[in-house]
Chain A
Amino acid sequence: MSSEIYDIGYRHYDGPRLGPGHSTRALAVHSLRGVFGLGRTARSKIMPFSLAAVMLLPAIVSIAMMAMMGRRGMPYSGFAVFMQPVLAIFLASQAPTVVAPDLRFRVLPLYLSRPVTITQYVGAKVAAMTAAMSLLVAAPVTLIYVGELVIDLDGPPQTKEYLGALVTGLLLSLLLSSVGLAIASLTPRRGLGVASVIAVYLLSSASVPIVYSTLASTGNDAGARWAWLLNPFWLVDAVQVWLFGTTPNAEGEYPAGPYCGLVVVALIAVGLAALALRYRKAASR
């Protein structure tokens, strides 16, 4: 029977061969599908989709409040900060699925023996994770906005706040993805990657009140403000305050906006550089 299968002659391919942009996009889409477990087993869809559902709950509550009580629930600018544990769990559980399998099962040589460079590979992975995270933020915020338009509250719709939240969400996603993927890529084991990312998040958020109260109790209020920047969600919120003039979602004030922006850019750069170094090392094995 197998000889029948073999007897079909070999056909050469003389169709188009597309450039690096095409393969990078294809890899990003492939990875994005992987984040949500699409094309994988049902089990790998449970975590991302249940977290995405949890993200929608406050949006539904907000809409209900607008519809029944005629007043706003959560402000657009505070959504990501309020939902930070869910976003952090999503990052921790899904970032390793983006990077770990290719390292663990040594799939990387199959990419690098093709016209795909390390830069394109890392770029596609970061783009995929960023897209997934910002979808998680943008979907509920957009739902609230649509709800606001439909319910037609008193006063003009908060279009500027809504768009500001989308831009901030994108920036937050880029920051979380580049740092999260860099941490996750350090280990080829998925479970260890999950644990490392969540540990870094817990450390960063637990250190905020400790550093803040220590500095505040010694009367160093200006120094205490910097403590907020230890947590990525408040850090990006500080940038939002600077860029869009929203009210801070922390008790007290943030340091001057440009510095916060600088910290965000520096952290993203460190994350990307760590990823590039990590993969350069993996490729030379």
Chain B
Amino acid sequence: MHILDTEGLTRRFPTVTALDQLTVTAGPGVTGLVGANGAGKSTLIKILLGLLPPTAGGARVLGLDVTTRGAEIRRLVGYMPEHDCLPPDVSATELVVHLARMSGLPRTAARERAADVLRHVGLAEERYRAVGGYSTGMKQRVKLAQALVHDPKLILLDEPTNGLDPRGRDEMLTLIRRIGTEFGISVLVTSHLLGELERVCDHVIVIDAGRLLRSSAIGEFTQATQSVTVEVDEGTGPLAERLTGLGHAVTPHGRLLLVKATGPETFDAIRDAAADLGLCLIRLERGRHRIEDVFREEVESVV
């Protein structure tokens, strides 16, 4: 079953075309939506929420058409905006309870759910204090909590790691992964940083200037490459010479050597060469594609 699917989806604004003939599907789990700023990510989210009508084409979320059944979609979906959206003078608890009621939860259920999700996103005692005094990380957690409070089938997270320090970013990504796996809620998460989606997504959609560049499972992005990374303590030069002499393709990469692997014998050759030269072998690692590399290649091939 598709969590969302679009068919020739186009949205034009007076001066720009935000989405151009986008046809894409996403299944359950965590889906990353990657694109530079202005690639059309936020426009796509607004269309998926049924808040912005498409100029042409169509889209469905959880099997519901966005143009005709927007209200039903908004009942089943949670949304975390990119920008600040929290009034400073109310507490996190009060805000999340109120928004749960806006989603149709009765008063007692809203209170219970709000306490639950605030705990899940990691807000403890501070949830009774006014949001105005919160750090960026805590505000992001409140924004995530309000998107989860009505137990949606799908949540749309627009740049959830924006403005977070590395540690906050890590915690947010871990949380997103948990939501997609343990909580059993499908996630569509946007980012302009590709590296961070690698960790949490099952599937990645790459868009640029409103057009689909690529949509595939994360494994296809990060499959093993042909190169082996070698790190030795000292004597990088002699090792490179020895390996080149044995007929291997070697590229120096800072303190590392990248050796093109032709088969298991390459690894043997590296090991033997290091032993012969009496070098201290620190690392021997199979290279993997990073989605950044894939993205760069795709953009280059398009341009």
* In the complex, B238 has a CB within 8 A of chain A: no
The 8 Å CB contact of A2, one of B102, B122, B182, is B122
What residues on A are CB-neighbors of B107 within 8 Å?
26
**Of B17-25, B76-84, B208-216, B244-252, which stretch is located at the interface?**
B76-84
* In the complex, A68 has a CB within 8 A of chain B: no
The 8 Å CB contact of A105, one of B77, B84, B109, B119, is B84
| Cα A18 to Cα B110 with chains together (Å) | 12
What residues on B are CB-neighbors of A12 within 8 Å?
151, 184
* In the complex, B62 has a CB within 8 A of chain A: no
Are B89 and A41 within 8 A (Cβ)?
yes
* In the complex, B286 has a CB within 8 A of chain A: no
The 8 Å CB contact of A22, one of B86, B101, B146, B151, is B101
Are B151 and A105 within 8 A (Cβ)?
no
Q: Work out how many contacts link A and B, with CB atoms closer than 8 A.
A: 106
What residues on A are CB-neighbors of B99 within 8 Å?
110-111, 114
A283 to chain B, nearest CB (A): 7
Residues 123-157 of A, flagged 1 when their CB comes within 8 A of B and 0 if not, give 00000000000000000000000000000000000
Q: Is chain A's interface secondary structure helix, strand, loop, or mixed overall? A: loop
Contacts A5-B119, A17-B103 given; does A115 touch B71 at CB 8 Å? yes
Which residues in window 160-197 of B have CB below 8 A to A?
Answer: 182-184
Are A26 and B101 within 8 A (Cβ)?
yes
What residues on A are CB-neighbors of B81 within 8 Å?
106, 109-110, 113
A38 to chain B, nearest CB (A): 11
Contacts A41-B89, A115-B103 given; does A106 touch B84 at CB 8 Å? yes
| Known A17-B104, A111-B99, A113-B81; 20 more pairs at CB < 8 Å | A13-B113, A15-B106, A17-B75, A17-B103, A17-B150, A23-B102, A27-B102, A101-B89, A105-B88, A106-B81, A106-B84, A107-B86, A107-B87, A110-B85, A110-B99, A110-B102, A113-B78, A114-B75, A114-B99, A115-B103
Q: Which B residues fall within an 8 A CB radius of A?
A: 49, 51-52, 71, 74-75, 77-79, 81, 83-90, 94, 98-99, 101-107, 109, 113, 116, 119-120, 122, 124, 146, 150-151, 182-184
